[in-house]
């Protein structure tokens, strides 16, 4: 299936993205064509567009690594999903084929893309970058499972693995920080201290289970953390 669609393309670092019409290539083995419903905007993408990762040898290229959509077509060998399936798109490798980056056509130009992009109406992605969307999960909420939730919760579940009675401090209450905070509820933590500079985020952290919150714009967070922990600080940060 050949499809033309609009995509936001990074053509030059520190310049606004340009919206271009691109042509998807035929699917290779292990690839999936998805019609996007929603895309998240991870701050790492903003950093990349501003040159925070240094010289970019793939320009021009598409962006975005967390989204949700519907499978339109599958390439040879794809068994994980089928046409019509609602899926989550994410950068974390899962089960299925891991294929090379995609190259789209825009007139005479070639537009590069990695194994998954989401700042576009359609995307050719590797099978291992899509996950079936559980029944009842709305498409807009599903976007969070493409990056913020698995990264934030994975920090706690797979890396920190806090012991019963542990104390933790979470610095920064964006999507990843709040996901980490919620994952702490899976463990018998004694204290979960949330640190940020925005009152609204601190209020949300308290609602999601933080035992105490610290506004780092008003006081030294290290000194404040030592108060509820009795001086030594936390076991995990």
**What pLDDT score does 231 carry?**
78
Express each pLDDT in 117-161 by its tens digit: 999 999 999 999 999 999 999 999 999 999 999 999 999 999 999
* pLDDT for residue 228 is more than 80: no
Residue 230: pLDDT band by 50, 70, 90 thresholds? confident
Instruction: Return the pLDDT at 43.
Output: 85
pLDDT of residue 45: 87
Kindly give, in sequence order, each residue whose CB lies less than 8 Å from that of residue 54, ignoring residues fewer than 6 positions away: none
* C-beta separation of 27 from 75 below 8 A: yes
pLDDT at residue 31 tops 90:
yes
pLDDT score recorded for residue 193: 96
pLDDT at 229: 74
> End-to-end distance of the chain based on CA atoms, in angstroms?
48
Instruction: Check if the beta carbon of residue 31 is closer than 8 Å to that of residue 111.
Output: no
Which residue did the predictor score with more confidence, 77 or 226? 77
What integer best gives the mean pLDDT of the chain? 95
Please give the Cα distance from 61 to 12 (Å, whole number). 9
Mean pLDDT, rounded, for 79-107: 96
Summarised one tens digit per residue, pLDDT across range 166-207 is 999 999 999 999 999 999 999 999 999 999 999 999 999 999
Q: Which domains does the chain have, with CATH numbers?
A: 4-142 (3.90.180.10), 148-226 (3.40.50.720)
Q: What is the pLDDT of residue 2?
A: 78
The string of DSSP codes covering 121-166 is SEEEEEGGGEEEPPTT--HHHHGGGGTHHHHHHHIIIIII-PPTT-
Averaged pLDDT, 112-117 = 94
Q: Is the pLDDT of residue 44 over 90?
A: no
The fraction of the chain above a pLDDT of 70, given in percent, is 100
- Give the C-alpha separation, 111 to 23, whole Å: 9
The torsion region of residue 109 among left (phi > 0), alpha (psi -120 to 50) and beta comes to beta
Number of residues that this document lists for the chain: 237
For residue 60, is the peptide bond before it cis, meaning its omega torsion is within 30 degrees of 0? yes
What percentage of the chain has pLDDT greater than the value 90?
90
């Amino acid at each position: 299936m050949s499809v033309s669609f609009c995509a936001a393309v990074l053509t030059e670092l520190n310049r606004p993205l340009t919206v271009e019409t691109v042509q998807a290539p035929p699917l290779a083995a292990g690839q999936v064509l998805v019609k996007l419903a929603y895309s998240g905007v991870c701050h790492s993408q903003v950093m990349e567009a501003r040159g925070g990762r240094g010289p970019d040898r793939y320009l021009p290229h598409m962006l975005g690594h967390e989204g949700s959509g519907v499978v339109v077509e599958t390439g040879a060998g794809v068994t994980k999903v089928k046409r019509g399936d609602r899926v989550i798109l994410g950068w974390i490798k899962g089960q299925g084929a891991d294929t090379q980056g995609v190259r789209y056509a825009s007139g005479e130009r070639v537009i590069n893309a990695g194994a998954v992009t989401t700042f576009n109406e359609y995307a050719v992605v590797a099978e291992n970058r899509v996950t079936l969307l559980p029944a009842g999960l709305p498409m807009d909420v599903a976007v969070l499972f493409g990056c913020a939730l698995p990264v934030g919760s994975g920090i706690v579940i797979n890396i920190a693995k806090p012991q019963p009675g542990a104390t933790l401090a979470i610095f920064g209450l964006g999507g990843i920080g709040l996901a980490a905070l919620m994952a702490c509820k899976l463990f018998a933590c004694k204290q979960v201290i949330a640190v940020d500079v925005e009152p609204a985020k601190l209020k949300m952290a308290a609602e999601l289970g933080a035992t105490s919150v610290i506004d780092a714009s008003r006081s030294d967070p290290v000194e404040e953390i030592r108060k509820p922990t009795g001086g030594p600080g936390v076991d995990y940060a």
